[in-house]
Structure 1
Amino acid sequence: MSTEKISLTQEKEALLITLYAKAGESRLADSLLRDEFAAQAVSRLDYDFAKLKVTHDLMIGVAMRAHIFDGWTRDFLARHPDATVLHLGCGLDSRLFRIDPPTGVRWFEVDYPEVIDLHRRIYPARDNCTLIGASVTDPDWLAAVPPEHPTLILAEGLMPYLEKDAAPRLLAVLAEYFSHGELTFDAYSGLGLWMLKYNPSIQATGACVHWSIEDPHDLEVQIPKC
């Protein structure tokens, strides 16, 4: 099996934290995620993962979050077998393979062009899955996604890395574009964001975090369609 040498920086490099955490958790005897695809991806990357300082607790936390998002995805697809799934800031996440959606589901993965290029080299192509290389905050890529179907938008681990004004603006664009569906993401309070900023793994990549929210109901005021 060939290996891929990679060169990513800051928030792009931070995606390797979650990949390595999922792979590590999946090697545990009592693994929750059992993400063999992440483990295989790690084995193909020529990268010093030790520098990320991924701890056992971080592995567990990342796997729990991914398991929750997987559950939301399976539930939505059970209710909407003709759905569209839009995975924002997909990184090298293997949710598509963990979920293995039915053929009627349209699946879109969006991330920076260099991340999508690496994604193509690491994972096999799948029917009905479209990879889009673009910044999630550039609305032009949305034209490639049909808006009329029930749509599940996944933004796992993405929102804190967006600029303070870019996060609500992105949510407003998505709410306006799609006719109906669900939007799922994780967010931090101001204190939580401060703790994330000084997380040793995040600091190892030089990534910056920006967006936090104290009360999720504030988004209902800022973005009425949410």
Structure 2
Amino acid sequence: MVTNTEKITLGEVQETLLIPLYFRAKETKKENGCIKDVEAAELVDKIDYDFSKFDSGKGSELGVISRTVILDREVQNYINEHPDCVIVNLGCGLCTRNVRLDLKQAKWYNLDLPDVIEVRKKFLKPKENCYDIAKSCFDETWPNDVKGDKDILIVSEGVFMYFTEDQVKQLIQLIKKNYKKSTLYVEVMHSLMAKHTKQHDTVSNTNASFNWGISQARDMAKLDPGLKYITEWNFVDEMAVLNNGLLFKISAKVNFFKNFCDKIAVFELTQ
């Protein structure tokens, strides 16, 4: 563990992991914050980076907090129902959900590229039954590092929009090849939003670019015959609770507007 600020080196897409980290830290430091992510707050204080360039991203900030509230709740619900499950946090970044939740007897795997895992190991304390895998999610060997093949939950937030559709299909096929049945919680971006990286309120301040989106979350099931759409949790529903603004309340009620917001889509994937 480091005690002073320290520069880190990340790839272009990997740098975007600092956006949710920063907003989780900001929310944690509020007197009545919706989440408490002490590790995120500590990391922001230790990493030498100009986080202030994200301060104008109010939409992203609200989206990150909404996403965090949703996934903290729903992943905990899954663990409660499957206390000895296996969770793969795909493209984990500096997510600390495994610290915040009660994992019971679950095994938790944080999967990301080597530069990200190096930062995790440098700044984050290990936790029992939690493991890091320093590989690309397209590396066909990563399932070999995951112990267990029952009650598999794949969680991926802020990741799929940086892939091409062919890469999304490749990843789905890789998961299907290795697990007879798995559950996927995947953040999905609308295709129109994915075409406008330069207009995004935070990602536009990095060199990363969106590559993929889909008009309806349920349509992702068309990418592979083994995918079955179950449900989705739209960020704007949580935004309407967290923010009293009229725009969010209206958007949460009108499906046309609501659909343009990111959501966590739930799928069952079988061989």
TM-score normalised to structure 2 length: 0.78
Q: CA deviation at 1:155?
A: 0.3
Contact 2:76 2:102 in 1 (8 A): no
Cα shift readout 1:37-77 (whole Å, capped 9, x = no counterpart)? 21111111111112334534422210110111111110110
Q: Structure 2 matches for 1:179-198, cutoff 5 A?
A: 179-198=180-199
Q: Which runs of 5+ in 2 are unaligned?
A: 228-271
Q: Which moved more, 1:6-15 or 1:214-223?
A: 214-223
Q: Structure 2 matches for 1:63-102, cutoff 5 A?
A: 63-102=65-104
Q: Is 2:5 aligned against 1:3?
A: yes
Aligned position for 1:161: 162
Alignment partner of 2:30: what SS? Answer: coil
Aligned position for 2:64: 62
Contact 2:109 2:132 in 1 (8 A): yes
Partners in 2 of 1:36 and 1:54 — Cα distance? 23
Aligned position for 2:132: 131
Contact 2:28 2:41 in 1 (8 A): yes
Q: Which moved more, 1:193-202 or 1:22-31?
A: 193-202
Partners in 2 of 1:138 and 1:217 — Cα distance? 26
Aligned position for 1:43: 45
Q: Which runs of 5+ in 1 are unaligned?
A: none
Partners in 2 of 1:197 and 1:101 — Cα distance? 38
Q: CA deviation at 1:148?
A: 1.8
Aligned position for 1:219: 220
Q: Which moved more, 1:164-173 or 1:106-115?
A: 164-173
Contact 1:161 1:210 in 2 (8 A): yes
Q: Which among 30, 33, 36 is matched to residue 34 of structure 1? A: 36
Partners in 2 of 1:205 and 1:9 — Cα distance? 10
Q: How many residues align?
A: 225
Alignment partner of 1:4: what SS? Answer: coil
Q: Which moved more, 1:183-192 or 1:1-10?
A: 1-10
Partners in 1 of 2:179 and 2:198 — Cα distance? 33
Alignment partner of 1:139: what SS? Answer: coil
TM-score normalised to structure 1 length: 0.92
Contact 1:86 1:152 in 2 (8 A): yes
Amino acid at match of 2:27: E
Q: CA deviation at 1:200?
A: 3.6
Alignment partner of 1:132: what SS? Answer: strand
Q: CA deviation at 1:101?
A: 1.2
Q: Which among 14, 24, 27 is matched to residue 25 of structure 1? A: 27
Partners in 2 of 1:113 and 1:194 — Cα distance? 28
Between structure 1 and structure 2, the one with the greater Rg is: 2
Amino acid at match of 1:65: R
